[in-house]
Amino acid sequence: MTKADEDEDRQEDVENEEVSTEEEEEEEEDRSRGRSNHRLTGREAVREARQQLFELIGRPVEQVLSMERDDDGDWQVLVQVVELERIPNSTDVLGAYRVTLDDDGEVVGYRRIRRYVRSRADED
């Protein structure tokens, strides 16, 4: 291998490293803005739904009832929230909320779909 070939190989390596560094910086920038090429997992969807719903309605999620991905690729997470605490707690008023998250983990909608007393949770 000649000196010119070695210099050319080194130049290509440097250029490849620069491209990799730029791509890594762009990915980090996307993550800091809340965007990524990463698809949201079910576990992440549940964590985000719990946190963001609390921020929106001011009540913590008591229980996760279900989660699934819909036809549009969004996550649908169904959660239970204590809306009114009473004594005894069997008379607590609960709300079931459907939370929709996009693939970046942002809540794009939520709706209370049911309100009921804890002792009558299984009755419709």
25 and 57 assigned to the same domain: no
What domain range includes position 105? 42-120
91-101 residue pLDDT tens: 999 999 999 99
Provide mean pLDDT across the span 38-62.
95
Please report the pLDDT score of residue 120 as a whole number. 85
The verdict on 73 and 108 lying in the same domain is: yes
User: In this structure, are 51 and 20 located in the same domain?
Assistant: no
Q: Which residue has the higher pLDDT, 71 or 30?
A: 71
pTM of the model: 0.67
Same domain as 29, residue 69: no
Query: What total of structural domains would you count in the chain?
Result: 2
Residues 78 and 105 in one domain: yes
The rounded distance, in Å, linking the Cα atoms of 70 and 46 is 14
